[in-house]
Structure 1
Amino acid sequence: MPGAPRGGAPGTRTEEQVTAPRISTVLWPTQPWPEAADTWRRAEEMGFHHAWVYDHIAWRGTTPWYDAYATLAAAAAVTSRVRIGTLVTSPNFRHPVPAAHAIKTIDQVSGGRLTVGIGSGGTRRASDAGVLGGPEWAPAERAGRFAEWTDLLGRLLSAPGTTHEGTFYSAREVAAGPGGVQRPRVPFVIAGDGPRGMRVAARHGAGWVTSGHQEGREPLEVVRSRLAALDAACEAEGREIAGRVLLTGFSGEPWLESVESFADLAGRYAALGITEIVLHWPRPGTPWEADMTVFEKIAADAGRR
């Protein structure tokens, strides 16, 4: 199983088994179009594997914050090679039926380059939790919604017709119509660090994503333990997940301090089984501010592999 230990220290792959991870970026949906179009084209030209975008109504008070799905449709039309996707879509403000409709459309526009990241959703009202009103979701309800939302979305994207009456969501005689380009459906990358989230990832995911952040613990050890839990969940489901994605920028590690610092960290996480590393596009005046020269050099080095 990808990422599972096969000799050496527990949870660490031997040198000959380590493959350099793909390098991707997450873009900020804060620029007006066509300025944003130039950034998406540049991300493709720099050779990133994925260009992701956050899917929120707002984020930590930042405005303007443009819609992720509309942005991806536009980005699909101005790029031709880079894979695009959400990091991540959540049940907080999207219903699976219209989400599936938009996803199929974007996959068509992009020529089959879409990946959908899915998570249980944040709890901050300043981002998107609770914006539709109603009572606050308890952790158990949030986890239940996440599991049902992901399962229903998968069916809507792959079945010829879907009817569902669930605990949280309903879909009545939804005809799939013309589907996306990818078969049997667009790939899902699941964000879930707890036991239930791991089970959702193992059941539905082509990939899994984590930030490695946990208060009071070293990020490398956090990821090591989470990968072990993911392997156990995959074994229980009888499936493998090839994509192990690390979203950087939340654990205090110096990913963009220098090319050498990036290479050292990338090597350490690759040895654990991480297959894709996501860097934030440098954003001046924020905690994600970074030297654009370093960022470009990292992308160039990855593109030459």
Structure 2
Amino acid sequence: MRLSTVILPVHRWHEGRKVWQRADELGFDTAYTYDHLSWRTFRDGPWFGAVPTLTAAAAVTRRVRLGTLVTSPNFRHPVTLAKELISLDDISGGRVTLGIGAGGTGFDATALGREPWTPRERADRFAEFLPLLDRLLTEDAVSYEGDFYSAHEARNIPGCVQRPRLPFAVAATGPRGLRLAALHGQAWVTTGDPKLFENGTPEQSVHAIRGQVDRLADACAEIGRDVAGLDKILLTGFTPDRARPLESLDAFVDFAGRHQELGFTEIAVHWPIPDSDFAADAEVFEEIAVEARAQLR
């Protein structure tokens, strides 16, 4: 099982640089960041852009993969995003994974001065956004006219360092999103069942996530794809036992092991941020980073 971290873009770079370098030193497989304009309890504090942050991180790290968890159509367009991703993939030497989903109803949905899209509208746009982005990252020139997005002779030469393109980790739980993950994803991402976040139990959460994995397998089977070939990523911090995994090494190994049994190949934990929803003991966090994988083999 791979172990990754999520570094929220809340630090000015003279401090943030140290965090990304430390993630590289600790041996995390991937260091992700959120791709939002602002986010929840961090809205009134520092918050920097995902792509510039990842570009800077690429310049000061050597080994760790880098990625978004996740990008969405809320304030992105496939043509401009593809150009940024190809550049980032080149600068990083082919170390980029794009986590991508349909978006939500948070600050990103209204920052451009429009009404939030309904769940159906988000799904409709994502169903057009993702295939077009796939084409833009694999073809030298793309023209396309859709219901929501257009491209006119959009050129992306020389393309990605990673071939045929950088990998997609598709965040989805509904049937349309899971089908997109099966069609276009190299990985699938979940945070669990949000309905259980406040009042659910860890056992209910595992049961719900097992159901998501089963539905992903069904979506893959419908198109003749083996679900075993699709990596499965759990972004922690949003299940009923959200704090427990980082309480101790043993607690983390127990949590990760239960999800490894469901078929997950990667666990992503948030880098500790004091006095926030992601507060955790830094020494325990580093112990988990160094020791947990050996116990999960």
**Judging changes above 3 Å, is the alpha-carbon distance between structure 1 residues 303 and 273 closer, same or farther for their aligned structure 2 residues?**
closer
Amino acid at match of 1:96: P
Stretches of structure 1 lacking an aligned partner (at least 5 in a row): 1-20
Q: 1:116·1:188 contact (CA, 8 Å) conserved in 2?
A: yes
How many residue pairs end up in the alignment? 283
Q: SS state of the match for residue 201, structure 1? A: helix
Specify the code of the residue in structure 2 equivalent to 1:30: V
- Shift of the alpha carbon at 1:62? 4.2
Q: 2:167 aligns with which of 187, 201, 209?
A: 187
2:273 aligned partner: 283
Return the alpha-carbon distance in structure 1 between the equivalents of residues 253 and 50 of structure 2: 30
2:140 and 2:159 in contact (8 A); partners too: no
Q: From 11, 17, 30, give the equivalent of 1:37.
A: 17
Write the letter of the residue equivalent to 1:89.
T
| Residues 99 and 170, structure 2, Cα contact 8 Å, conserved in 1 | yes
Q: How does 1:188-203 map to 2 (within 5 A)?
A: 188-203=168-183
Alignment of 1:1-305 (within 5 A): 21-60=1-40, 61-125=43-107, 128-216=108-196, 217=200, 218-240=204-226, 241-253=229-241, 254-302=244-292
Give me the whole-angstrom Cα distance separating, in 1, the residues matched to 2:251 and 2:292. Answer: 14
Question: Secondary structure at 2:124's aligned position in 1?
Answer: helix
The offset of 1:303, in angstroms, is 5.8
* CA–CA distance in structure 1, aligned partners of residues 205 and 6 of structure 2: 20
Unaligned runs of 5+ in 2: none
Q: Distance in 2 between matches of 1:144 and 1:165?
A: 15
2:278 is paired with a residue of what secondary structure?
A: coil
Task: Calculate percent identity across the aligned residue pairs.
Answer: 51
Which amino acid is the alignment partner of residue 244 of structure 1? K
Q: More deviation in 58-67 or 213-222?
A: 213-222
Aligned to 2:6, the other structure's residue is in SS state strand
Offset at residue 252 of structure 1 (A): 2.8
Q: Which amino acid aligns with 2:266?
A: E
The two structures have a TM-score, normalised by structure 2, of 0.92
Bigger drift between 236-245 and 268-277 goes to 236-245
Q: Is the 8 A contact 1:48 1:303 kept in 2?
A: no
Deviates more, 1:185-194 or 1:236-245: 236-245
CA contact (8 A) 2:64 2:95 kept: yes
Q: Post-superposition shift, 1:35?
A: 1.2
Q: Choose between structure 1 and 2: higher helix proportion.
A: 2
Quickly say closer, same or farther: Cα 1:130–1:87, change in 2 above 3 A. same
**Which of 129-138 and 276-285 deviates more?**
129-138
